[in-house]
Amino acid sequence: MNQISLMLSLFILLAATATIASDLVAIPNCQLLETEWADGDSFLVQTPGGDEHTIRLYGVDCLEWHVTDESDARRLRAQRRYFGITDVEKSSAESIQVAKGYGELAWTEVRQALAKPFTIHTAYADARGDGKYQRIYAFVVLENGKDLAEHLVRRGLARAFGVSRQTYDERSRDEFQTHLKDVELLAARSGVGVWAKTDWESLLDERMTQRLEDEELKLATARPTLKKDETLNPNTAPRDALMKLPGVGETLANRIIEGRPYQSVEDLMQVSGIGANTLEKIRPHLKTPSSPKHQFSSWRSLSVHLPSHSLVEDHSHL
């Protein structure tokens, strides 16, 4: 009887895993489209059927080089501190230009890497972190089979940082993130890309300054909440909107984004940090989820659902 119970449990586990993984779709033979706003981790692609999507890479973050508002400027400052390049030149203005230059280099690298047709793997999770742009998270695999995110980190043109999930090649979220961190360590040791400018003596202080500033901003900023009858869709709401839910901060909002798509409100129980009590608090503000619209008949026959062994993921702070 114990053996039968074990086999039944394994069957249920495998079935659940297949259900969770079935949302990841492969679209081969995509092409890169040139735009003025693109950068190393966010760019426009076209599918074989002519559909266009703005892709946000999973797991990596390239330096900003299109700084148009205060939010962009803050992000660039955080990135400079992460790499330890805040004061690499004689003036702040010159140091900022150096950082932007590496952001442009990342985009140049992406243009070269995606010169030939490539494959995207996406679950159509909404990637509008700040609500300004319509983007979807995706993995991008080059013609030679290499992962674009790893390619950028290996060249020191991106940091291993940001939203992630289980991958197209059967790695769990944690395995993927740990691998990128290891690749980042090798890039830093080799002094390639941005790491060539790192001031190692001040790196720890710069990162500590950023952490303290982040905490101070959290304390100083009064986070708005949703009105009593206001609702949102957990599959499409941007991070800032999710953070208006009762008890949902930035970390939990990122986890909700990583877990998309959801077929029902109850599916949110799969997100680490959301238990029965939290779900009941946020339930009145949730619409019944609708899956992102991605039934494009022009390339649907080319889409391939890929399996994964990861069922439950432990999401840490990003």
**What pLDDT was estimated at residue 249?**
86
**What pLDDT was estimated at residue 236?**
87
Cβ 274 vs Cβ 262: under 8 Å: no
On the CB side of 26, CA atoms within 13 Å amount to 15
What is the widest separation between alpha-carbon atoms in the chain?
A: 74
Domains and CATH numbers, the chain: 20-305 (2.40.50.90)
CB atoms within 10 A of CB 278: 18
Cβ 65 vs Cβ 100: under 8 Å: yes
**What pLDDT was estimated at residue 316?**
38
**What pLDDT was estimated at residue 220?**
78
Tens of each residue's pLDDT in the chain, 318 residues: 456 655 554 454 444 444 444 588 999 999 999 999 999 999 999 999 999 999 999 999 999 999 999 989 999 999 999 999 999 998 999 999 999 999 999 999 999 999 999 999 999 988 865 555 679 999 999 999 999 999 999 999 999 999 999 999 989 999 999 999 999 999 999 999 999 999 999 999 999 999 999 888 877 766 678 888 899 999 888 888 898 999 898 889 989 998 888 999 999 999 999 999 999 999 999 987 765 544 333 333 344 444 433 333 333 334
**Would you call 126 helix, strand, or coil by DSSP?**
strand
Nearest Cα neighbor of 194 from 106, 108, 109, 111 is: 106
**What pLDDT was estimated at residue 318?**
40
Cα gap 181→159, rounded to integer Å: 8
Which residues, 6+ apart, have CB-to-CB distance to 8 below 8 Å?
A: none
**What pLDDT was estimated at residue 301?**
37
Cα gap 105→196, rounded to integer Å: 14
28-56 core/surface letters (b: 16 or more CB in 10 A; e: else): bebebeeeeebbbbbbbbebbeeeebbbb
Give, in degrees to the nearest 5, the angle at Cα 218 between 217 and 219.
90
**What pLDDT was estimated at residue 6?**
52
CA distance readout (Å), 42 to 37, 82, 318: 9, 20, 18
